Structure 1
Amino acid sequence: MLTCANCNYQFQYKEALPFSWKTRVGHTCPNCDEKQYYTASSRKRSFNITIIAFILIIFLNAIDVPFTIILLVAAAVIVAMIFLSPYIYKLSSEEEPMW
């Protein structure tokens, strides 16, 4: 679960979920009022998961899987990434450069 890098406050799931669709925006910790951002390694992990999902979709298309199945797989991957993100990512008190 997401933990504040400043005060070690552990976000509840409903507090952490908005982080998954607003990755470039800092969110304020409800305990210490410090802005929190995804770490660079978390954003790289998110990028890698996205690339793997993209390759999977291209592979499914290459082996002539029906388009509806491909859409369902893509939707499942997107939903899984959003709902599992509070468990996968880490936070930092400052916005770190990607490279």
Structure 2
Amino acid sequence: MLTCANCQYEFKYKEALPFSWKSRVGHQCPSCGETQYYTASSRKRSFNITIVAFIVIVFLNAVDVPFMWIVALAGIIIAAMILLSPFIYKLSNEEEPMW
């Protein structure tokens, strides 16, 4: 689960979920008020997962899997990435450069 890098407050799932669709925006810790950002390694991990999902979808399209199956799989992948993000990513006190 997401943990504040400043005070070690562990975010509740409902508090951590908005981080998954607002990764470039800092969020304040409810305990200490410090603004928290995804770490650069977390953003890279998210990018890598997205690239792998894209490659899988392109591969399925290349082997003539029905379009509706591909759309359903893409929806499942997106939903899984959003719902599991609070368990995968880490936070930092400052916004780190990506590279």
TM-score (norm 2): 1.00
- List alignment gaps of at least 5 residues for structure 1: none
**What pairs with 1:83-98 in structure 2 (closer than 5 Å)?**
83-98=83-98
1:6 has 2:6 as partner: yes
Deviation at 1:14, TM superposition (A): 0.2
Distance 1:75 1:42 in 2: 22
CA distance in 2, matches of 1:92, 1:11: 13
Structure 1 length normalisation: TM-score? Answer: 1.00
Mapped pair 1:70 → 2:70 = yes
| Residue of structure 2 equivalent to 1:39 | 39
Unaligned stretches of 5+ residues in structure 2: none
**How far, CA to CA, are the matches of 1:57 and 1:42 in structure 2?**
23
2:58 aligned partner, one-letter code: I
CA distance in 2 between partners of 1:55 and 1:73 (Å): 12
Code of the residue aligned with 1:16 in structure 2: it is: A
- Runs of at least 4 residues off by over 6 Å: none
Aligned length: 99
Q: Following the alignment from structure 1 to structure 2, what is the Cα–Cα distance between the partners of residues 41 and 88?
A: 11
AA in 1 matched with 2:47 = F
